[in-house]
Amino acid sequence: ANYNFDKSKQCIGAMTIEIDFLQKKSTDSSPYDSDKMAAEFIQHFNNQGFTVGQQLVFSFCDKLFGLVIKDIEAMDPSILKGEPASGKKQK
């Protein structure tokens, strides 16, 4: 069964992701703009649920990258509406 998360209560505030080239033979030393990479990641995976240890493939600048979710910090979305936070530290 699919888990339907409640976007009004369950949001990611910060996430640590390990990234590497999917195919080691296609590595290069070109610099990548991490801000653009993050923006594109958010655009592609905006409605995705994540879990620590999850692996996924991400395409950026015609290269495939392997990603591993290392840490997730939850955010209380009520603060975006000007409401007081729940006070619970979520992780």
Domains and CATH numbers, the chain: 11-81 (3.10.330.10)
- At 9 the three-state DSSP class reads coil
Contact of 56 with 49, CB cutoff 8 Å = no
- pLDDT score recorded for residue 2: 74
Work out the pLDDT band at 83, boundaries 50, 70, 90. Answer: low
- pLDDT score recorded for residue 81: 73
**pLDDT tens sequence across 26-55:** 677 889 999 999 999 999 998 888 999 999
With a CB cutoff of 8 Å and minimum separation 6, the contacts of 53 are 68, 69
Model pTM score = 0.75
